[in-house]
Structure 1
Amino acid sequence: MAPTSWTLLVAGVLLVLLLVWVTFTLTRLRRLESRVTRAWDVLDVALARRADLLAAVGRERSAELGPDRGAALTGAVEVSRRPPGGDREAAENALGRVLRELPGSLRGPELDDAGWRVGLARRFYNDAVRDTRALRRRPLARVLRLPGRRPLPRFFDIDDGLDAVVGAGRSEGR
């Protein structure tokens, strides 16, 4: 074989490898973006369920809440359903603060379960966002502009008080 034949063969093999990698990466990006969308839908449902349960507590136990705490609860629920300026994180943080201030006698097991579900759904969503952002930030993916013009997904960070509990299974070294 002539040296030019070897060069063409090596170039062809490298081109095929690059095409296989691009196809694999595009498929993985599509799956990760789908995972982000599904995780957001689950998180949105969990947040709505928690707000509905808190609204029910506000309606059914208004006498036990008192006028100030009842108004704060109702206001926080309404703001979380329609956040001003689209700042969902701030609205959910306000709702979480009101929830933490509720006495234990007013919080039922359903409300605690809803809080855990919000924490887990947020964790799954943020994990999907982290994986997607990591793949999209790889140098070759950026150079080839594989993600196109789609914006990077954003993390959803709220103070739900579950970070220490949900992350307790991890060891410090990982």
Structure 2
Amino acid sequence: MLLALAVLVVLLLAWAAFTLTRLRRLAGRVDRAWVTLEGTLARRAELADAVAREHADELGPLRADALRSAAAAARRPSGGDREVAENALGRLVRELPEPLRAPELDDAGWRVGLARRFYNDAVRDTRALRRRPGPRTLRLHARRPMPRFFDIDDGLDAVVGTGPAGRG
């Protein structure tokens, strides 16, 4: 009886160690995906600002100022609501006339969609593991905040369907 109890304790400890290692790896994956997503968002904001500066005459003063303001707000969102600022910038970028939209800006938009998808996949996997009964009961990773999804309207359906190569 004592041997069976010892084997059960060893198995429980092995499972807990395996699960904790998995949670740490998922946390690292979320962190790396967030850094990548932030980089792509910053790149898109820089390119949008450059288009607003270089084509201010063709865009008109109102549209150029709106694009510059949206790019600045996306870099430093007020109130911490980054998703709202990124949605505003994305909407303005998509409304740019085709001849004024730089190919790099379109590419940055595709990259934002892909980076967001990778980040949200990592968040989904982490949340799913942390919500299982075992990790919840043993409070594995309980001190780390639960990661949040990053939801913006970036045309992700188009990214999944065709990708940059399918644009023609």
Instruction: Pick from 122, 144, 168 the counterpart of residue 161 of structure 2.
Output: 168
TM, length-normalised to structure 2: 0.94
Q: Deviation digits for residues 36-73 of structure 1, max 9, x if unmatched?
A: 00000000000000000001101111111101111110
Q: Give matches, 1:91-102, under 5 Å.
A: 91-102=85-96
Uncovered stretches (5+) of structure 2, i.e. residues with no partner: 163-168
**Residue 138 (structure 2) aligns with:** 144
Residue among 30, 36, 43 paired with 2:37:
43
- Paired positions, count: 162
Structure 1 unaligned residues grouped into runs of 5+: 1-6, 170-174
| Distance in 1 of aligned mates of 2:161 and 2:14 | 39
Could you tell me how far 1:152 is from its partner in structure 2? 0.4
Report SS of the residue matched to 1:102.
Answer: coil
Q: Work out the percentage of aligned pairs sharing the same amino acid.
A: 69
In structure 1, distance between residues paired with 2:159 and 2:87: 18
Alpha-carbon distance in structure 1 between the residues aligned to 2:136 and 2:159: 33
Matches within 5 A, 1:10-159: 10-159=4-153
Rg larger for = 1
Q: 1:125-159, CA deviations, whole angstroms, 9 ceiling, x for partnerless residues?
A: 00000000001001010010001222100000000
**Superposition CA RMSD, Å:** 1.1
Letter in 2 for 1:92: E
